[in-house]
Amino acid sequence: MTCANNVPISTSGRGGTNTNLTCVVDCSTDGGYSVNPVNILTDCVSASSSLGMMTSERSVNATLLAGAHFYISYRGSAWRAVDSPQQNNLYWSI
């Protein structure tokens, strides 16, 4: 496992998995977010081959119009089960 930037697209087998955080509620008052949405790419900060896990993060600044209010969301397959016993096809959201 290689620790890299632009996770997940730089991760083996996940080259086509980039997408954006999309507006899901109050999109008419998103202050311009939908014109320039934030993608899900992050930068690796640590990796464990023995656990098959990678930790990644990224901060993104966005300029919005005053008074903007809206909700963004992403739903995707979990990379690693966080329960025991291990299960596939779990989902996470932010």
| 42 domain-assigned | yes
Contact, 43 vs 57, CB < 8 A?
yes
| 15 domain-assigned | no
Tokens of 52: 């098959």
| 5 domain-assigned | no
Q: How far apart are the first and last CA of the chain?
A: 25
| 16 domain-assigned | no
| 13 domain-assigned | no
pLDDT by position in tens, the chain (length 94): 678 788 777 777 777 777 888 898 999 999 999 999 998 888 889 888 888 788 888 899 999 999 999 998 876 665 444 555 566 666 555 4
C-alpha 46/C-alpha 2 separation (Å) is 9
| 49 domain-assigned | yes
pTM summary value: 0.60
Q: What range does the domain containing 34 cover?
A: 22-93
C-alpha 61/C-alpha 72 separation (Å) is 15
Total tally of structural domains belonging to the chain: 1
